[in-house]
Amino acid sequence: MDTVPFWVQLLALALLILCSAFFAMAETALMAANRHRLRHLAKRGSRSASTTLWLLERTDKLLSLVLIANTLINAMATALVTAIAIDTFGHDDNVITISTSVVAFLLIVFAEISPKVIGATYPEKIALPTSMVLKPLMAAAKPLIWFVNLFVSLLLKPLRIKDGAHQHDARLSPEELRSIVLEGGNFIPQKHKSILLNLFDLETISVEDIMTPRSQIEALDLALPVEEIKHELTTCYHNKLPVYEGEINQIVGILHVRKAVALLNQEQELTVEHFRALLTAPYFIPQDTRVFTQLQYFQENRERLGIIVDEYGEVQGLVTLDDIIEEMIGEFTTSMPGAARADSFDWNEQGECLLEGATALRDINKRLGLNFPLDGPKTLNGMMLELLQDIPESPISVKIGQCVIEVVQVQHQSIKVVKLIRPSGKRAA
Q: Tell me, letter by letter, the H, E, C secondary structure of 105-134.
A: HHHHHHHHHHHHHHHHHCHHHHHHHHHHHH
Which element (helix H / strand E) includes 405?
Answer: strand 403-411
Query: Comparing C-alpha atoms, which of 214, 196, 212 is closest to residue 333?
Result: 212
Longest dimension (CA), the chain: 123
pLDDT for 338 beyond 60: no
pLDDT for 163 beyond 80: no
C-alpha distance from residue 362 to each of 32, 306, 320, 341 (Å): 38, 21, 18, 11
- According to DSSP, the residues that pair with 241 across neighbouring strands are 255
Under a CB-based contact definition with an 8 Å cutoff, are residues 341 and 364 in contact?
Answer: no
d(CA 294, CA 290): 6
Shared fold status for 207-329 and 352-426: no
d(CA 273, CA 291): 35
- Residue range 207-329 forms a domain whose CATH class is alpha beta
d(CA 122, CA 134): 18
The whole-number pLDDT of residue 237 equals: 86
The whole-number pLDDT of residue 21 equals: 92
- Number of other residues whose CB lies within 10 A of the CB of residue 386: 11
Over range 261-289, report the average pLDDT: 86
3-state secondary structure of 27: helix
**Selected residue with higher pLDDT from 309 and 349:** 309
Pairing mode, strands 315-320 and 212-213? antiparallel
Q: Name the least confident of 171-175, 233-237, 344-348, 385-389.
A: 171-175
Which element (helix H / strand E) includes 284?
Answer: strand 284-286
**Percent of the chain scoring above 90 in pLDDT:** 21
pLDDT for 199 beyond 90: no
Cα 298 → chain centroid: 23
Q: Name the least confident of 184-188, 323-327, 410-414.
A: 184-188
pLDDT tens digits, residue range 380-410? 888 888 888 888 877 888 888 888 888 888 8
SS3 content of the chain, % helix, strand, coil (to 5): 55, 15, 30
Under a CB-based contact definition with an 8 Å cutoff, are residues 428 and 350 in contact?
Answer: yes
Domain ranges of the chain: 6-169, 172-201, 207-329, 352-426
Over range 310-330, report the average pLDDT: 88
In eight-state DSSP terms, residue 418 is E
The whole-number pLDDT of residue 114 equals: 92
- Residue range 352-426 forms a domain whose CATH class is alpha beta
- According to DSSP, the residues that pair with 285 across neighbouring strands are 308
- According to DSSP, the residues that pair with 286 across neighbouring strands are 309
d(CA 421, CA 408): 12
- Number of other residues whose CB lies within 10 A of the CB of residue 388: 13
Residue 220 corresponds to which amino acid?
L
**Percent of the chain scoring above 70 in pLDDT:** 91
